[in-house]
Structure 1
């Protein structure tokens, strides 16, 4: 993308570290400040439907959803207006913040936007024993953890493939997590829309509510904050789906795929030119190997939140 269309730079473009999938830069010009996201094209885990996502973002912004203004998009680069705000820590948010997130989700789901791609779900990978063997052979620092949890990861993959999703399916953001939010004057701003698409409603609500109701790990879940997200959704005109494990299957399946993707990056042992740095991939693997079995073991308790 020719970035000169956004004005004359007033300094060098600066990388903003911390992205789990792509790379972000800040561009300051005589026309303002822009967030320039370089998409990882080398080994993307999921297909990015650039035209549909950009149209969805524009509709959401026009409807008043609190988010950065989408400026331009092509298959390699996304540009949004830069938004100042505070990072949202991985800790239970305030009840008011949670309610507003629920209302935002209801407004997003009510948008009338054409989406030309169906919800495609491929069978979950079952190659965890092979990955464990490769990790041991190459001396990965987390090889022991992976070997000890291989059967658990196979059980998780089976759960993801067989869990019944009751519907309805909605067009939505799909990734409202603390690291994809800013707080501006104490109110949420929703970032990083490129995973947008069709998703079972329970999976979207469960993933969002749980992420905002807990700290790192699963020992500090605040049920009142979880319920506040759902209360906000209902207040915004949404209808809750029936309770069940389907509320958490999208979160578990997404984290499983993300962990496997980072394992493959670590096994390749190459500092890629796009996507997360290799050190961040190792960190993501270690978090997944420790956190996913814990999350999976707590499913019965999590269902009591509903």
Structure 2
């Protein structure tokens, strides 16, 4: 991403990674959704233009949001923003369904050992747990409703401007079960880099803000965390395949970063999965 200063103001120009993506980017749908959100007053950079490889937004000044629990006031406002986003009436032409969860972890572990990957032994030791996680992601019942939403409100996709949120990076936008959106958002804002410092008050503030904004909470249950778990599982597998290829790609993360992502996931995913009962207690 680049900052472009012109006589018409400053703009954020983002080049999209087209050669190494995990999903199809629906540029027209996302741009239409962004324009509707901006027109409705959602705090976000103004979308200016979009095509298949470049996005342009008006530049917004703000402070980055560290990966640690936010204030309850900030979390409450994020909940209100989500409720407003979910009320937008925007046509969405992408009717694709969620892809089946991959369950080839034994084969991947065998390949990792054979090619001498530095995390191969750790991966092999966690194969049964990773299969159990894949089973959970593939079979967990989503209670609905399905909403059109941002799908990736995380600290790294937010700014703080005078202490209030600005929502960035809408490229992942699409249809998602409401419980998965709320659980992922609330948990990401209530914790640090791990899961030892979760602030229940921050988690609840997101939900309280959602209700105050006119939203209705879906039933409690494990579905609140399946989107986060599944997203992380897919991210680890994607990076693992890059590591097995052993080629420094021209786009996407450097190979060293992919190795770190695999190692973090092989260690962190089993921890997260084991804590699901504890996380569900946040909903009570």
Q: TM-score band, normalised by the shorter chain?
A: over 0.9
Aligned counterpart for 1:143 among listed residues 104, 120, 124: 120
User: Segments of 4+ in structure 1 off by > 6 A?
Assistant: none
Greater CA deviation, 28-37 or 213-222?
A: 28-37
Greater CA deviation, 238-247 or 38-47?
A: 38-47
Aligned counterpart for 2:87 among listed residues 106, 110, 123: 110
Report the alpha carbon displacement of residue 277 of structure 1 after superposing the two structures with TM. Answer: 2.4
Q: Which residue is 1:193 aligned to?
A: 170
Query: Which digits, 9 at most, give the CA deviation of each residue in 1:35-92, with x for residues without a partner?
Result: 2222222231111111000000010011111111111111111111222211111111
Q: Which residue is 2:269 aligned to?
A: 292
Counterpart CA distance in 2 for 1:219 and 1:199 is 27
Aligned counterpart for 2:76 among listed residues 96, 99, 106: 99
Task: Provide the aligned length of Structure 1 versus Structure 2.
Answer: 283
Q: Which residue is 2:239 aligned to?
A: 262
Q: Which residue is 1:3 aligned to?
A: none
Counterpart CA distance in 2 for 1:76 and 1:282 is 27
Q: Which runs of 5+ in 1 are unaligned?
A: 1-23
Aligned counterpart for 1:215 among listed residues 173, 192, 196: 192
Query: Equivalent residue of 1:293, what SS?
Result: helix
Aligned counterpart for 2:222 among listed residues 240, 245, 252: 245
Query: Which digits, 9 at most, give the CA deviation of each residue in 1:231-267, with x for residues without a partner?
Result: 0000000000000000000110011111111111122
Counterpart CA distance in 2 for 1:136 and 1:201 is 39
Report the alpha carbon displacement of residue 28 of structure 1 after superposing the two structures with TM. Answer: 3.0
Query: Equivalent residue of 2:4, what SS?
Result: strand
Counterpart CA distance in 1 for 2:214 and 2:198 is 26
Counterpart CA distance in 2 for 1:284 and 1:238 is 35
Q: Kindly tell me: are residues 30 and 157 of structure 1, through their superposed partners in 2, closer, same or farther at Cα, counting changes over 3 Å?
A: same
Q: Which runs of 5+ in 2 are unaligned?
A: none
Q: Which residue is 1:272 aligned to?
A: 249
Q: Kindly tell me: are residues 278 and 35 of structure 1, through their superposed partners in 2, closer, same or farther at Cα, counting changes over 3 Å?
A: farther
Q: Which residue is 1:4 aligned to?
A: none
Contact 1:50 1:73 in 2 (8 A): yes
Report the alpha carbon displacement of residue 185 of structure 1 after superposing the two structures with TM. Answer: 0.9
Counterpart CA distance in 1 for 2:231 and 2:143 is 18
Contact 1:106 1:237 in 2 (8 A): yes
Q: Which residue is 2:29 aligned to?
A: 52
Q: Kindly tell me: are residues 281 and 32 of structure 1, through their superposed partners in 2, closer, same or farther at Cα, counting changes over 3 Å?
A: farther
Query: Equivalent residue of 1:33, what SS?
Result: strand
Q: Root-mean-square deviation (CA), in Å?
A: 1.2
Q: Which residue is 1:134 aligned to?
A: 111
Greater CA deviation, 266-275 or 245-254?
A: 266-275
